[in-house]
């Protein structure tokens, strides 16, 4: 049964509750938690829930390794979201899924996701990202909308000090240790928080997300602070693109890329 939450209460609701889905039928799921007021649905939430829906249809020995999604319409956080999953392929090592998220009979988001069995191999990282200060020595972030995340900022993306570009982050609750799918979904939820772009460029102001990609390089595990570093972005054609790196326990856990829209200031 769906439960409403006021926006100012969201930070106190465990992330695990926010991401919970009801299974309606084979390949069909529905979100549970919602706001009591009409406001835009946070993109990271629908991204994470779409990944959970896909993951619920693959064998438990397969974990997410990549996803590519498109934000098509503004979601309404006061209404539940229905997720419809299509099974594209189950191979010996990889599984591919497609999912659409619907509200009021319209698709607000679609995504392709790929899963694979855990495999061991050589590991090499071409570049190191070293935090300048531990989370305990970084100031606490306040953001809008309020998210089920605890964040501490190391650096900001621009003089407006609106979006942090280098920051520590963790969920507001403990995640089950033996559920890599949920850990991956929690990281996906976080990956839409902040941006590597400036809020304004000339006469244009940063708008909604257009598309999002995320790659998990290792079996997802989020049991401590993660450090996120957003690299330089590109602004052109009323669009902005940036990339980011997610680091945990001294290793690059995931990489992300996102494109956002710019519009003329009114």
Q: What digits encode the pLDDT tens for the residues 72-97?
A: 999 999 999 999 999 999 999 999 99
Lowest model confidence (mean pLDDT) among 1-5, 41-45, 121-125:
1-5
pLDDT average, residue stretch 21-43: 91
253 pLDDT exceeds 90?
yes
pLDDT of 2: 42
266 pLDDT exceeds 70?
no
pLDDT of 190: 96
- Mean of the per-residue pLDDT values of the chain: 88
Q: What digits encode the pLDDT tens for the residues 128-172?
A: 667 777 888 887 775 555 689 998 887 665 545 567 888 999 999
| 244-252 own/partner pairs: CB under 8 Å, 24+ apart | 244/191, 244/196, 245/129, 246/187, 246/191, 247/129, 247/131, 248/221, 248/222, 248/224, 249/224, 251/125, 251/218, 252/125, 252/129, 252/217, 252/218
pLDDT of 239: 95
Q: Which helix (DSSP H) or strand (DSSP E) does residue 180 occupy?
A: helix 180-191
pLDDT of 123: 67
Q: What digits encode the pLDDT tens for the residues 92-109?
A: 999 999 999 999 999 999
pLDDT of 19: 97
From the list 45, 44, 40, 143, the residue with the least C-alpha distance to 32 is 45
Q: What digits encode the pLDDT tens for the residues 205-250?
A: 999 999 999 999 999 899 999 999 998 789 999 999 999 999 998 8
pLDDT average, residue stretch 249-265: 90
pLDDT of 165: 84
Q: Which domains, from first to last, does the chain contain?
A: 3-117+129-264 (2.40.160.210)
């Amino acid at each position: 049964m769906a439960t409403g939450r006021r926006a100012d209460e969201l930070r106190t609701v465990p992330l695990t509750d926010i991401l919970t889905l009801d299974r309606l039928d084979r390949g069909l799921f529905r979100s549970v938690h919602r706001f009591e007021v009409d406001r835009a649905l946070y993109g990271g939430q629908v991204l994470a829930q779409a990944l959970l829906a896909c993951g619920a249809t693959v064998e438990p020995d397969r974990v997410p390794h990549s996803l590519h999604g498109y934000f098509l319409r503004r979601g309404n956080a006061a209404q539940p979201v229905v997720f419809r999953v299509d099974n594209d392929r189950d191979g010996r090592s990889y599984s591919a899924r497609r999912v659409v998220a619907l509200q009021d009979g319209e698709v607000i988001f679609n995504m392709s996701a790929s899963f694979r069995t855990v495999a061991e191999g050589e590991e090499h990282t071409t570049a190191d990202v070293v935090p300048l200060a531990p989370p305990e020595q970084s100031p606490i972030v306040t953001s809008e909308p309020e998210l089920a995340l605890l964040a501490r900022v190391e650096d900001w993306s621009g003089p407006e000090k609106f979006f942090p570009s280098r920051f520590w982050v963790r969920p507001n609750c403990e995640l089950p240790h033996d559920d890599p799918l949920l850990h991956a979904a929690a990281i996906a939820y976080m990956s839409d928080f902040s941006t590597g772009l400036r809020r304004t460029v000339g006469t244009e102001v940063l708008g909604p997300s257009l598309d999002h990609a995320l790659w998990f390089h290792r079996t997802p595990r989020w049991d401590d602070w993660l450090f996120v570093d957003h690299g330089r972005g590109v602004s052109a054609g009323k669009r902005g693109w940036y990339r980011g790196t997610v680091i945990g326990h001294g290793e690059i856990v995931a990489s992300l890329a996102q494109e956002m829209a710019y519009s003329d200031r009114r």
